[in-house]
Amino acid sequence: MQQQPVIKNGIFKPYLIFEAWFGSGVRLCGQTILLLFHTIRYILQGKIDWPEVFRQSNMIGVKSFAVVAITALFTGFAMSLQIARELVLFGADTAIGGVVSLALIREIGPITAGVMVAGRVGSAIAAELTTMMITEQIDALKVMRIDPAQYLVVPRYLAGVFMMPVLSIYAMFIGLFAGILIAQSAANLPMATFLDSVKQTILDRDFHVHFIKSFINATIIIMFSCAIGLSTRGGAEDVGIATTRAIVWTMTMIFVFNYIVTSLTYAPR
């Protein structure tokens, strides 16, 4: 992908950088939306390679359990420690469980799983598909009248949709476990009191928000990574560029849509 020059007619024009970035972003979003429509069409038609879906589920979900667990554990430690110390100062130590669990269910769980899967899986998908484009394997599929969206994207998308909620719930429980340990050590709060606060605070709609964010994160990671991989041409250098673009775009869009969903689903308790 050629870089837009910042010097035109001998004059330095920095706005050309923004123009190139904005145009590239618009094209990528359009390609991603079209690819999503094609993917959903094949799913509704039942054109699904289930063995490949299971293989991708192992790659996307099972092999991400360790890194998600470590990240969620120490994120839960840090967040719970800060919350516990502040609430103890205000004499509201019994509310520690509710505050920690609410943050984990609505924000930390989906974000932690989404970011780690974006870094681990999104980059791998973009690199793999970019390599297939460069080595003309995608062109070979088209010659054999095989749509790359059906053959490559559908199994990855279904695997992501199946496994992302599992990883998000897994991160939530790991963070909750970390919160219990911190509450006991930093605030001398019994586990029963912590869990009672959780029961009084958490509502069904909080879990609905959790699953909505997980589904959106899976869609963002798989679709943007596949769109970047299938639209990149060039040489070996472009594999690294595509990988970087996949990580940057997927993580950015995860945080953007996280805010959008939070703002749309917020309601006084």
Q: What is the DSSP string of 158-180?
A: HHHHHHHHHHHHHHHHHHHHHHH
The span from the CA of 210 to the CA of 262, in Å, is 10
pLDDT at 65 over 70: yes
Contacts of 18 (CB under 8 A, 6+ apart): none
Distance from C-alpha of 174 to C-alpha of 143, rounded to nearest angstrom: 48
Question: Taking all residues of the chain, what is their mean pLDDT, rounded to a whole number?
Answer: 88
Report if residue 23 sits inside a domain.
no
Q: Do 117 and 69 meet the contact criterion of CB atoms below 8 Å apart?
A: no
Instruction: List the Cα angle 231/235/238 in 5-degree steps.
Output: 55
> Does a structural domain hold residue 117?
yes
Domain assignment present for 190: yes
Measured CA distances, 88 to 66, 84, 108, 263, 268 (Å): 32, 6, 22, 29, 24
- Dig out the tokens for 51 from the structure: 């063995």
Return the closest-CA partner of residue 247 out of 125, 142, 119: 119
Assigned domain for 84 exists: yes
Residues 6 or more apart whose Cβ sits within 8 Å of residue 226: 35, 125, 126, 129, 152, 153, 156, 157
Residue 16 confidence (pLDDT) above 60: no
If you average pLDDT over residues 69-97, what whole number do you get? Answer: 90
Classify residue 41: in a domain, yes or no: no
Q: Is residue 95 part of a domain?
A: yes
> Alpha helix (H) ranges present in 47-122?
50-60, 65-89, 96-103, 109-117
More confident residue, 190 or 232: 190
| Domain, as residue range, for 57 | 49-265
User: Is the residue at 29 inside a domain?
Assistant: no
Per-residue pLDDT tens for 89-131?
Answer: 888 888 899 999 999 999 999 999 999 999 999 999 999 999 9
Q: Does the residue 185 lie in any domain?
A: yes
How many domains, the chain?
1
- 8 A C-beta contact, residue 127 and residue 243: yes
